[in-house]
Amino acid sequence: MSFFISMAIQTERKLLKRSVAMMIDYAILMVFIIWFMATYGVPTEDGYAVSGIKGIVIPVVWFAYFPITEWIAGKTLGKLILGLSVVTEYGGRISFTQALKRHILDMIDIGIVGIIAIANTPRHQRLGDLWAKTLVIGGDNFRCRSCYQEVTLSNDEILKGEFECPICHAANKTQIM
């Protein structure tokens, strides 16, 4: 029973961290969009509008911030703040194609669909992660089954699916990989 409670807590933590990271990232994007529209937009009845060449700036900024940043650094600013990284299913650096695939599905994955996917896949993947064959890892805490000490795992331990408790040296399986 305690195993299932531990897994439920782990899933909630993963959901919370990923959700906060996403909120930070999209808040950054929204601040840019608001600034850009107020600075370069033309007032309309509904707010501001941009047209012509200015109209491609926002998609280009989205493209540069999400896929390119994750391809180059393995994380966005939101993930950096929360200690998360995007890796391949085998723990390597993601390719540009994988980064792009992850974010092409953002419109579907943000919100309830992404939450359901993360909560119900063994490796906490959303649809974009499943399609791109990527994982978001980092900062995972587990309790040792022998001494009940909470341990923060390294990315290698997370990917391997097991760790040795630094207190009692008991072998543990994480059951998420």
Q: Give tens-digit pLDDT for 85-125.
A: 999 998 899 999 999 999 999 889 888 898 899 888 888 89
CA distance 156 to 16: 22
pLDDT tens digits, residue range 35-86? 999 999 999 998 889 999 999 999 999 999 999 999 999 999 999 999 899 9
Beta strand ranges found along 30-152 (DSSP E): 42-44, 47-49, 85-88, 134-137, 141-143, 150-152
What's the predicted TM-score (pTM) here? 0.76
* pLDDT band per the 50, 70, 90 thresholds, residue 11: low
Do residues 25 and 33 touch, judged by C-beta distance below 8 A? no
CA distance 108 to 110: 6
Q: What is the DSSP letter of 75?
A: S
Residue 111 φ/ψ region, left for φ over 0, alpha for ψ in the -120 to 50 degree band, beta for the rest? left
Per-residue confidence (pLDDT) for residue 73, from 0 to 100: 95
* 126 φ/ψ angles, rounded to the nearest 5 degrees: -90, 180
Per-residue confidence (pLDDT) for residue 141, from 0 to 100: 72
Do residues 165 and 172 touch, judged by C-beta distance below 8 A? yes
Beta strand ranges found along 5-161 (DSSP E): 42-44, 47-49, 85-88, 134-137, 141-143, 150-152
pLDDT tens digits, residue range 146-174? 888 888 777 777 777 788 888 888 888 87
* pLDDT band per the 50, 70, 90 thresholds, residue 4: very low
CA distance 39 to 54: 11
Per-residue confidence (pLDDT) for residue 176, from 0 to 100: 52
CA distance 167 to 56: 55
